Amino acid sequence: MLQTDKKWMIASQSPRRKEIFGMLELPFEIVVSNMEEGGRQADESVENYVMRLAQGKAEAVAENHRDKVVIGADTIVSLQGKLLPKPKTKEEAAFYLRLLSGRTHDVMTGVAISYEGQTHRFYERTIVHFHALDEAMIRAYVETGDSLDKAGAYGIQTLGALCVAKIEGDYHNVVGLPLTRLVRELRALQLITIGDVHAYT
């Protein structure tokens, strides 16, 4: 369905982003960026912060792969402007889930597309509503270990889905890569095209 004459590279070690981008059925390579993420600046918006991280990842890899289109991404969870990164311990994961319980938060993914010395970036926001979580649910989920490698201490594509009441926006954005928006941006940049579609007769 999608056509391209470009070579593709994903600047991420996330198996979830690998799986999502793989849905496009375009050959691609994975190269992990060694960029130091650093913290959010005092006057920096959440949107600019997540796009800056994505841009840093993409450009760090693109520097040595000028012949490829490099895609970098970073996903954050934000509760009323407070960032909830990947928890370092089970105790911190449980603390995050208590904060999110019964409340609404934002999941934002910044995406950067680097090619031929240029970088185009954007972000996508999804609003996530959590159920009120009792302590038994929080402790049981944290004990699975699933929350430790995920921003906000939950994965919507795994058992963390039991915490989620509903979402407003792109599901894949919460997982880690807003695929629909990405394809729209790539088409606008003329990096991919839609192939011929033959009607059924």
Residues serving a catalytic function are: 74
Exposed e or buried b for every residue in 64-101, given b needs 16+ CB within 10 A? ebeebbbbbbbbbbbbeeebbebbeeeebbbbbbebbb
- Cα torsion through 166, 121, 9, 147, rounded to 10: -30
Cα–Cα dist 176/18, whole Å: 10
Cα–Cα distances in angstroms (integers) from residue 183 to residues 23, 96, 159, 176, 191, in the given order: 11, 32, 28, 15, 9
Cα–Cα dist 192/4, whole Å: 5
| Strand partners of residue 88 | none
3-state secondary structure of 109: strand
Cα–Cα dist 185/122, whole Å: 9
Residue type, 137: M
Cα–Cα dist 140/136, whole Å: 6
